[in-house]
Structure 1
Amino acid sequence: MNAPLGDGTRCVHAGQVPSAPGAAVPPQPVLAAQYHLSDDPTDDFYGRAGNPTWRALESAIGELDGGTCLVYASGMAAVSSVLRVLLKPGDTVVLPSDGYYLARSYVREHMNGLVVREVPTAGEWTADTVAGARLVLLETPSNPGLDVCDIAAIAGLAHAAGALVAVDNTTVTPLGQRPLELGADITLASDTKALAGHSDIVLGHVTTADPDLAARLRSERTASGAVPGPFEVWLAHRGLGTLDLRLARQAENAAALYEALREHPGVRSVRWPGSPLDPAHPVASRQMRRFGGVVTFELESAAAVAGFLAASRLVSSATSFGGLHSSADRRARWGDPVPEGLVRFSCGCEDTRDLVADVLTALGA
């Protein structure tokens, strides 16, 4: 029996068609908006309904996630599509009170008639928490606090209550966590972040093991027009090939930075689920395959964060994460309910020694 392929091999070869003499290596993007019509209804006919470049990336991500994948124009396009397909006025939806703020504001400002129940990611999850819900949306590790919840346990509670479970898996990607294997019905992500990994596109995806739900989502995507451009999709597929390598270096940097900041006098509340000292680690170590490159920590004030960023040579001030370059974002500026000095730090692929030295020097300045 052949041994299972490793993460690096799967990333490099995922979604690739069999090689053929004279064919491009790897396949190039199909940029057409329209196609020559045929009598076969499965053939491509218009760019909003389908594209071979989409299907290549969907095959790749679906293989890593363990289900049928659909790509979207952004992570929020993916989230909002799931919400629109599954929820109707009068339904109850459970959202993370400490997750990505735009998911909560979208539900409250753009979806009328829903009963919204907000629960902290690391809060107490019981049958009462999910009672009467139609959908439970989790984000674990949470953004930006990096708290973790037990996906399998919550899925059991939710399914017993008749609810579906969707997990935002943006922070750690399919290599770090496979929510469908843990009992979730849907996994979704902003692929703008670590999956594409080069800070040059906006993209998202939804994956489910339920073929009927996948068909409903595909139909809604075509009708709503929440579709990505084929060039952006191709760039994401190209970036996916190095995901294993990038995650390994980013996690190495996160581990070193966590240790360097943990005892620093100007820093408090350092979080990284990969450390045995982190309160999220016991659950994270059971359900996560990798711990990612995002670290959060708190400085004394917004001014302290500004001074730190101004003094750094390697760290950019940016509000995304998961890219090659290390970046930091003071999350309170966007309205997150966090302290003014809380920093979400995205470790890039710089040499570990250089990154840690630069951060410590900037903090000292």
Structure 2
Amino acid sequence: MDWSLRTRAIAAGRPAAPGEPLNTPLVATSTYVAGGDFTYARESGTPTWVALEEAVGSLEGGYATAFASGIGAIAAVFELFPIGAGVAVPTVSYSGTRGLLEHAEKQGRFTVRQLDPEDTAAWQAAADEVDVLWIESPTNPMLQLMDYAALTGRRAKVVVDNTFATPLVQRPLTEGADVVVHSATKLIGGHSDLLLGVTIAKDETLARELRDARTRNGATPGALEAWLALRGLRTMPVRLAEQSKTAALLAERLSQHEAVTRVRYPGQGMMIAFELADAEAADRFCASLELIVHATSLGGVESLVERRSMYAAESHLPAGLIRFSVGLEDPEDLWRDLERALG
């Protein structure tokens, strides 16, 4: 059946045979009795990983592979490309990705070109010149949108980090992208209690190469983490719907507050970026919150804020920029906390 994405999040990867458990169990083993489909977990995986991969692959429309972390998944994608490959990456994007690329460039492995994420013409030119286009849309943390559909079908492979949007908002593989990456630590897991990454490839050949990279490097997810991510995935549609509704409300109110100089909200999703006058004002704001937590990461049920320019890798960002991950608290409670801290 051609189920909706909301239904797939519940039903995909679930046991179906008579007498099987309703939910995929946590299979905690490193090895298996010889003669079956599973042999050694690092090489063949576990039933828990397989269930998670089936569910995420169904949502994105491709072949999924789970990794120990989001950065582990990103590193595996870069292994698809040969020494000397050219990679284009947004100037404003996840610092972990740019850090990996900077290290690879120092080693002579890649040549890296950083481009304005909103300059589609520059990206189109690069698509005919480099080997890989690394896309974020929305970008982390500025929430800029990129027209990745205009970049497919050219020389370069297109990889999209879909962590912020999730397949519930956009499905890049259906628009010509070759690989999608998620930090499942974030919205897929949804409860700030695990580290896990996922790649989803458009075709089986790429998926097989990514699985080989996982096996070689031992970047395998833990059994508990995979089970928690699968459980979190089941509620992602309802969580994201509520978080997005609250985010839209708070973005509108923040845009009218005199202490806020700019609000960036792409119109959907649970992430907001807003700017205060300077770093001092942003730090004072973060320290004054009582309900919203000053912490890194995003996508959980709790609301989190952070001034990203405090990190050396993101010192080029506006000094007063606040990245705000909107959780599932009552919207009016969140606004009272924001308004008091802004004052």
Q: Deviation at 1:216?
A: 1.1
Q: Give 1:212 deviation, angstroms.
A: 0.8
Aligned Cα root-mean-square deviation (Å): 1.4
Give 1:271 deviation, angstroms: 0.5
Contact 2:14 / 2:22 at 8 angstroms: preserved in 1? no
1:354 maps onto 2:329 in alignment: no
% identity of equivalent residues: 39
Find the aligned partners of 1:90 and 1:6 in 2 and give their Cα distance. 42
How far did 1:133 drift?
Answer: 0.9
- 1:1-365 aligned at under 5 Å gives the runs 4-18=2-16, 20-21=18-19, 23-38=20-35, 43-49=37-43, 50-86=45-81, 88-110=82-104, 112-113=107-108, 114-126=110-122, 127-155=124-152, 159-160=153-154, 162-274=155-267, 291-335=268-312, 336=314, 337-364=316-343
Q: What amino acid sits opposite 1:264 in the alignment? A: H
Distance 2:3 2:295 in 1: 35
Q: Which runs of 5+ in 2 are unaligned?
A: none
Displacement of 1:124 after TM fit?
A: 3.5
Q: Is contact 1:256-1:356 (8 Å) kept?
A: no
Question: Could you report, residue by residue, the CA deviation over 1:11-51 in whole angstroms, capped at 9, with x for unpaired residues?
Answer: 12121011533x4331211010111112x5xx111121111
Q: Contact between 2:32 and 2:39, CA under 8 Å: does it hold in 1?
A: yes
Structure 1: distance between partners of 2:58 and 2:125: 35
1:60 aligned counterpart, secondary structure: helix
| Distance in 1, Cα, partners of 2:5 & 2:340 | 35
Counterpart AA for 2:119? G
Shift of 1:231: 0.8
User: For residue 78 of structure 1, what is the amino acid of its counterpart?
Assistant: A
2-structure distance, mates of 1:301, 1:241: 40
Q: Distance in 1 between matches of 2:68 and 2:159?
A: 19
The whole-number CA distance in structure 2 between the counterparts of 1:77 and 1:100 is: 14
Q: How far apart are residue 347 of structure 1 and its match? A: 0.3
Q: Distance in 2 between matches of 1:95 and 1:20?
A: 48
The more displaced of 227-236 and 302-311 is: 302-311
CA contact (8 A) 1:268 1:298 kept: yes
Q: Which amino acid aligns with 1:177?
A: Q
- Deviation of 1:309 (Å): 2.3
> In 2 relative to 1, CA 92–307 (structure 1 residues): closer, same or farther, beyond 3 Å?
same
Paired residue type of 1:206? T
Query: Partner letter of residue 210 of structure 1?
Result: D
SS at match of 2:71: helix
What is the distance in 2 between the residues matched to 1:221 and 1:55?
14
- State TM-score, norm by structure 2: 0.95
- How far 1:110 moved relative to its partner? 3.7
Q: Which amino acid aligns with 1:121?
A: P
Distance 1:8 1:102 in 2: 30
For residues 205-232 of structure 1, give each alpha carbon's deviation from its aligned partner in whole angstroms, at most 9, with x where no partner exists. Answer: 0001211111111111111111110110
Contact 1:68 1:214 in 2 (8 A): yes
Question: How many residues matched?
Answer: 337
| AA partner of residue 40 (structure 2) | Y
Partner of 1:277: none
